[in-house]
Amino acid sequence: MKILAIETSCDETAIAVLDCVGDERSTTFTILGNTLLSQIEIHKEYGGVFPALAKREHAKNLVPILEAALEEAELLHEDVQVIPAETRAKISEILAREPGLTKIFFEFVSECEPPAIDAIAVTAGPGLEPALWVGINFAKALALLWQKPLVAVNHMEGHSLSALAQSEGETLTIKDVRLPVLALLISGGHTELVSMERWLEYKLVGQTRDDAVGEAFDKVARMLGLPYPGGPEISRLAETVRTSGKLGGPASKFTLPRPMLHDNTCDFSFAGLKTAVLYLLKNRPELTDEEKKHMAHEFENAVADVLWKKTARALEETGAETLVIGGGVSANTHIRRVFTENMQREYSNVKLCIPSSALTTDNAVMIAIAGFYRALRKEFVTDIIANGNLPLAR
């Protein structure tokens, strides 16, 4: 089954085409085309993602990205297409709220044969609603025009299932998954522990009571005067401390709390950690570069300590046989290292799956993977409503 997947939930416009072969027990995914355009540079000056701007950029980029992905997949065949007036009217209505997209959409599809794909998958949520809508309306228009079934994908399911994929040469495979799977999902908008006891059935084990961990990284980075997105910047500074071997010295005297470390739930709280950084900075308005590095280091240690402790508790509670870590923050070198070492030492019987770095931040490959499993179950839809807070589990 060939799946065309579209992702526009935040600041990445991404489209991928995957050939998916197999069933729920064992699947091989071949990435035929994969195109991604990051808007990070555009949002940088706002210090975060600016929704109206994200929407406009997605609308501008979707057609060129689709063209590139189809071309890479060798599924782009030029041919003049006559679009019946009725279809054209329906599509214009679907795209009415995406100014700028309608014209380029028709220009492109009027000159391209319907590609040989079997279904179109698109992120329905969670994310920024104005951004989600662009992708959804684009997918609906394509599905209508090309007569393809449509699948609505939960972005967090994309992160979680794609983390199960092992790369084997040119392909990704998901097979022999040992249930229950516990997923630690850490991104700019989410921090949650979700268990999958049966395939595609999720239960919420714990979640943040305030800020998401990626949000905390981004906010603390901003306090330290670092550019957006803050996660990679903090990580870079913190690593310099670890590799310099200068853990002592006056600059390392910052101590931050590990919020909710010892309470008896699997919930998190990161707002307090962020406030603690704020207070420390109040007393020292001018941090030296060296001090900034040590603050980043202590902050990252505090986050990793809390994430690990809560995940260990959740492993005990769920009896999970597999642990996956997904979401943008799972790109973090220190968190990856802490989990790899601690799992090896304390839970060597549990399989740890951390996605490859290309799959950690938002992309359309993960949407295609989740879309495939939903399509296998024939969960096709005719309409999709963007839901910024779409839950994966309750």
One-letter amino acid for residue 367 of the chain:
I
User: Which partner, Zn ion, ligand KG4, none, binds residue 329 by CB below 5 to 8 Å per kind?
Assistant: ligand KG4
Contact status: 137 vs Zn ion (CB under 5 A): no
What is the C-alpha separation between 56 and 119, in angstroms, rounded? 26
When the beta carbons of 101 and 329 are compared against ligand KG4, the nearer one is 329
Which of 8, 13, 34, 187: binder of Zn ion (CB under 5 A)? 187
Asked whether 1 and 118 are in contact (CB, 8 A), the reply is: yes
Buried b / exposed e along 102-137 (16+ C-beta atoms within 10 A): bebbbebbeebeebebebbbbbbbbbbbbbbbbbbb
Out of 57, 215, 291, 362, the only residue in the binding site for Zn ion (CB under 5 A) is 362
Give the number of residues in contact with ligand KG4, rule: CB under 6 A: 19
Q: Which residues have a Cβ under 8 Å from the Cβ of 48 and sit 6 or more positions away?
A: 218, 228
Q: What, of ligand KG4, Zn ion, none, does residue 229 touch, CB below 5 to 8 Å by kind?
A: ligand KG4
DSSP codes joined into one string, 67-101: HHHHHHTT---B---PPPHHHHHHHHHHTTTSTTH
| Interaction of residue 158 with ligand KG4, rule CB under 6 A | no
Among 115, 130, 259, 327, binds ligand KG4 (CB under 6 A): 327
Select from 50-58, 65-73, 182-190, 248-256 the region that touches Zn ion (CB under 5 A): 182-190
Residue 232 binding: pick among Zn ion, ligand KG4, none (C-beta 5-8 Å cut-off by kind): ligand KG4
The upper half-sphere exposure of residue 128, i.e. CA atoms within 13 Å in the direction of its Cβ, equals 19
Contact 84, 130 (CB under 8 A): no
Question: Rounded to an integer, what distance in angstroms lies between the CA atom of residue 243 and that of residue 245?
Answer: 5
Per CB under 6 A, 355 contacts ligand KG4: no
Q: Which does 361 bind (CB under 5 to 8 A by kind): Zn ion, ligand KG4, none?
A: ligand KG4
The site string for ligand KG4 over 5-44 (x = CB under 6 A, - otherwise) reads -----x----------------------------------
Task: Give the range of 24-32, 38-46, 118-126, 356-364 binding Zn ion by CB under 5 A.
Answer: 356-364
- Residues making up the chain, counted from first to last: 394
Q: How far is the CB of 188 from Zn ion (least distance, A)?
A: 7
Interface characters, 88-107, with ligand KG4 (x: CB under 6 A): --------------------
How far apart (Å, rounded) are the C-alpha atoms in residues 9 and 121?
13
Could you say which DSSP state residue 10 is in? S
Q: Toward Zn ion, which CB reaches closer, 291 or 362?
A: 362
Number of H helices, E strands in the chain: 13, 12
Is the four-CA dihedral 46, 52, 58, 61 of positive or negative sign? Answer: negative
CB of 123 to Zn ion, least distance (A): 9
Residue 217 within binding range of ligand KG4, rule CB under 6 A: yes
With both helix axes pointing from N to C terminus, report the angle between 129-146 and 51-72 in degrees, rounded to the nearest 10.
30
**Can residue 361 be called a binding residue for ligand KG4 (CB under 6 A)?**
yes
Per-residue x/- track, 174-193, ligand KG4 (CB under 6 A): -------------xxx----
Between 232 and 259, name the residue whose CB sits nearer to Zn ion: 232
**Applying CB under 5 A, does 7 fall inside the site for Zn ion?**
no
Residue type at position 286: E
Q: State whether the Cα torsion 391-203-157-201 is positive or negative.
A: negative
Instruction: Return residues touching ligand KG4 (CB under 6 A).
Output: 10, 187-189, 214, 217-218, 229-232, 235, 327-329, 331-332, 361-362
Instruction: Return residues touching Zn ion (CB under 5 A).
Output: 187, 362
